[in-house]
Amino acid sequence: MALDSTGKISSRLEVLRQRFLERAKEDIKHLRALAEKTRCGEFSADGLLFCYQSLHRLSGSAGTFGLPELGEAAKALEKQLKVQAEELGALDDAFTHPVDIPEGFADGIDALAELVEVKSQAVAQAGNYTEEPTTYKGSQGMQVSVLLVEKGDERLAKLEKEMAPYGFSFTSVSSDDAGALGNALAQVRGAAAILCRESALSDVMSVRNKSFEESSRRRLPVICLGSDNSFQNRYRVAEAGAFAFFPDPVDIPELAERIESLAIERSANVQGRVLIVEDDAELAEHYCLVLQAAGIEAQAVSEPLHLMASLADFEPDIVLMDVQIGDYSGVTLARLIRFEPRWLSLPIIYLSSEDDPENQLEALSKGADEFLMKPVSDSYLVRSVRIRCFRARQLSELMNRDSLTGLLKHSLIKEEVEKELARCRRSGYRSCVVMLDLDHFKTVNDTWGHSQGDIVIRTLANLLRNRLRETDMIGRYGGEEFLVVLPQCEVSSATELIRGIGESFSELSFVAGESSYQVTLSAGIAAINDFTNGEDALNAADQALYERKRSGRNGVTVYSSK
Ligand SMILES: Nc1nc2c(ncn2[C@@H]2O[C@H](COP(=O)(O)OP(=O)(O)OP(=O)(O)O)[C@@H](O)[C@H]2O)c(=O)[nH]1
């Protein structure tokens, strides 16, 4: 669900809060009736368990709806019943057991009812929901923006030209114009980095630090270029806050790679997918709205029977799970999720008002990873979810990505071809698979050394990442062989795109000592839809690549069945 305006979100959150209060009033009616009975010494196990569950729900959710005092009052009453409720919960014949009435319980319920009434009136008068969710505009594609900050230095303009084939989007600003630099920083979105020479570093750092001071965005990484490569100078640059230093003459492929990795790493917190397992409909919708408004994809499951199907469909980075979902225990559900090897490393976080460390430990030992204490405020929810998604993604990147290039590993990119074919069949669109291979790469290794060969491989990986869309999938298929899946792309567009990338790649100069050299690539393309399975589409792209190699390399060949 796309959420486009904060006004719209706050009015939806307000509706949820009203619904929560309506339900709280209903619960309070039942609680009061039961509490009245305690005044005449009547309190059954049945009644105690009902009161305990109602109070537990109120204490866990009131804070989230901006009513923390109500949550605290309910929590205090819940604690009065906790020990007895847990003992009764463990018995088969609980309902026949006599129970003790905690002192002042009925008065506490009366006070709670009054508080609910007061809060309802205050909310009705105040109107709109007040805790504004953090709005965050998501990352815009995979293209990396570079802010070039110049101080009358021609060298940066030359550098911009040399780096043109890598596909970064450059914006130049003068370090003498703090206003323009501030504006440029304010406008930058998504993955980005600042590039400047040493002479402009202190001006850049002060404008950058000031301009990010009040915003919740992460500061852009600064990469500094300079002539003095001594330890003292590098120390000075590091002390000023730069993230990387490149001495003259600048190693362009290395610089491109560093810009890419720093920019993407720093912007990575934008994304995340969270599955919320919660049977309280208002609470689940509230969490979803707040997270979605912050740029995090969120989906809720209220019925545990659908949990496994939702996991498979949505493929979340993390799961937020209530400790009790109707009749189901969250602890047991966490264990059940782990039955499937695919979800062994999926972080499961309990949303719980359980504040007893012993009980928390018990739950953790059964398959969950940590606790988020209810009630959670909107901003805390967003921040903690964002950090956890970021960590989860880092971990899965480590497991699924090739260490030299950061691209998908062989088996995963192969799987993507199969998945794409299934998507094409479902949606009726056309997609392509491309096999790319560096030309005469053995000669590169033999002439310039294996580590130079590695730089060439990494450079092509970066170029592909920069030039392809975020929805395209790129993998390292073998040593110097790459596989790309281009969803919703006709063969003609794929050919044009890959030809352009091949041309840019062939224009890059790799520097080895005093010498420099260039490398070309060959590609084979096949339309995924023309095949009955992914394996056949892959073989076709491979065959087209072979044809290309035979007919002179450095170019693109489309598979033809003739
Ligand atoms: N530096 C480096 N070299 C690699 C890596 N993986 C594979 N190679 C080398 O890539 C070269 C591939 O050579 P060949 O399969 O003969 O192909 P080629 O020389 O590119 O010739 P054509 O494909 O016909 O243009 C071999 O020398 C491998 O050792 C790697 O990770 N790093």
> Is any ligand 1 atom within 6 A of the Cβ of residue 405?
no
Give domain status of residue 127, yes or no: no
> Is any ligand 1 atom within 6 A of the Cβ of residue 273?
no
| Element at 245 (helix H, strand E) | strand 244-247
Is it the case that residue 385 has pLDDT exceeding 80? yes
Stretch 516-536: mean pLDDT: 95
Give domain status of residue 132, yes or no: no
- Considering only CA atoms, give the Rg of the chain: 30
Give domain status of residue 355, yes or no: yes
When pLDDT is cut at 50, 70 and 90, the band that residue 196 belongs to is very high
Instruction: Determine which of 28-42, 176-190, 367-381, 404-418 has the lowest per-residue pLDDT on average.
Output: 367-381
Q: Tell me which amino acid residue 481 is.
A: E
**Ligand 1 pocket mutation, candidates 403, 404, 441, criterion most atoms within 8 A of CB:** 441
- Look at residue 134 in the predicted model and tell me its pLDDT: 34
Strand partners, 476: 482
Contact 395, 387 (CB under 8 A): no
- Look at residue 49 in the predicted model and tell me its pLDDT: 87
d(CA 323, CA 412): 34
| Element at 121 (helix H, strand E) | helix 105-126
- Look at residue 127 in the predicted model and tell me its pLDDT: 62
How many Cβ atoms are within 10 Å of 48's Cβ, its own excluded?
23
Q: From the CA of 480, how far away is ligand 1's center (Å)?
A: 6
Q: Whose CA is nearest to atom 14 of ligand 1?
A: 442
Give domain status of residue 405, yes or no: no
Give domain status of residue 125, yes or no: no
Domain limit, last residue, from 400, 431, 451: 400
Same-domain status, 262 and 276: no
Same-domain status, 463 and 391: no
Q: Whose CA is nearest to atom 8 of ligand 1?
A: 479
Residue 423 burial (10 A CB sphere; 0-12, 13-18, 19+): middle
Give one DSSP letter per residue of 348-361, joined into a string: EEEEE----HHHHH
> Is any ligand 1 atom within 6 A of the Cβ of residue 440?
yes
Is it the case that residue 96 has pLDDT exceeding 80? no
Q: From the CA of 412, how far away is ligand 1's center (Å)?
A: 21
Stretch 533-556: mean pLDDT: 96
Same-domain status, 386 and 442: no
Same-domain status, 505 and 426: yes
Identify the domain containing residue 67 by its residue range.
23-120
CA 482 to the chain's CA centroid:
25
- Look at residue 486 in the predicted model and tell me its pLDDT: 96
The reply to whether ipTM tops 0.85 is yes
d(CA 311, CA 277): 11
- Look at residue 139 in the predicted model and tell me its pLDDT: 25
d(CA 549, CA 240): 50
Whole-Å CA distances, 264 to 160, 165, 171, 404: 20, 19, 18, 16
- 303-349: pLDDT as tens digits: 999 999 999 999 999 999 988 888 898 888 988 998 888 888 888 98
303: domain CATH number is 3.40.50.2300
> Is any ligand 1 atom within 6 A of the Cβ of residue 135?
no
Same-domain status, 305 and 428: no
> Is any ligand 1 atom within 6 A of the Cβ of residue 435?
no
d(CA 333, CA 324): 10
Give domain status of residue 13, yes or no: no
Q: From the CA of 256, how far away is ligand 1's center (Å)?
A: 23
Is it the case that residue 383 has pLDDT exceeding 70? yes
- 423-443: pLDDT as tens digits: 999 888 999 999 999 999 999
Stretch 377-402: mean pLDDT: 81
Domain limit, last residue, from 400, 421, 439: 400
- Which ligand 1 atom is nearest residue 437's CA? 23
> Is any ligand 1 atom within 6 A of the Cβ of residue 477?
no
> Is any ligand 1 atom within 6 A of the Cβ of residue 457?
yes
| Torsions phi, psi for 177 (to 5 deg) | -105, 85
DSSP state of 490: -
| Torsions phi, psi for 483 (to 5 deg) | -125, 130
- Look at residue 128 in the predicted model and tell me its pLDDT: 58
First-residue to last-residue Cα distance in the chain: 46
**pTM as predicted:** 0.56
Is it the case that residue 447 has pLDDT exceeding 80? yes
Give domain status of residue 164, yes or no: yes
Give domain status of residue 3, yes or no: no
d(CA 160, CA 88): 72
Same-domain status, 539 and 504: yes
Smallest CA-to-CA distance from 193 within 164, 225, 221, 224 is with 221
104: domain CATH number is 1.20.120
d(CA 270, CA 272): 7
Is it the case that residue 279 has pLDDT exceeding 60? yes
Stretch 142-160: mean pLDDT: 82
CA atoms within 13 A of residue 60's CA, in its CB half-sphere: 24
Q: How many domains is the chain built from?
A: 4
- 283-305: pLDDT as tens digits: 999 999 999 888 889 999 999 99
Is it the case that residue 129 has pLDDT exceeding 80? no
- Which ligand 1 atom is nearest residue 452's CA? 1
Stretch 45-71: mean pLDDT: 87
**Ligand 1 pocket mutation, candidates 445, 477, 542, criterion most atoms within 8 A of CB:** 445
- Which ligand 1 atom is nearest residue 479's CA? 6
Smallest CA-to-CA distance from 170 within 265, 259, 267 is with 259
Does 249 sit behind a cis peptide bond, omega within 30 degrees of 0 on the bond before it?
yes
Does 375 sit behind a cis peptide bond, omega within 30 degrees of 0 on the bond before it?
yes
Q: From the CA of 533, how far away is ligand 1's center (Å)?
A: 28
Same-domain status, 547 and 427: yes
- Look at residue 136 in the predicted model and tell me its pLDDT: 30
Same-domain status, 370 and 469: no
Stretch 201-214: mean pLDDT: 84
Q: What are 97's two structure tokens? A: 């057991």
Question: Higher-confidence residue: 19 or 363?
Answer: 19
Q: What are 273's two structure tokens? A: 């997918």
When pLDDT is cut at 50, 70 and 90, the band that residue 215 belongs to is low
Same-domain status, 425 and 463: yes
Contact 320, 287 (CB under 8 A): yes
Smallest CA-to-CA distance from 352 within 378, 328, 370 is with 370
d(CA 175, CA 201): 9
Is it the case that residue 141 has pLDDT exceeding 50? no
Stretch 176-191: mean pLDDT: 83
How many Cβ atoms are within 10 Å of 308's Cβ, its own excluded?
16
Same-domain status, 346 and 208: no
> Is any ligand 1 atom within 6 A of the Cβ of residue 454?
yes
Same-domain status, 300 and 386: yes
Mean pLDDT rounded to a whole number for the chain: 85
Q: What are 173's two structure tokens? A: 């600003």
Domain limit, last residue, from 359, 380, 400: 400
Same-domain status, 115 and 202: no
Does 102 sit behind a cis peptide bond, omega within 30 degrees of 0 on the bond before it?
no
Is it the case that residue 258 has pLDDT exceeding 90? no
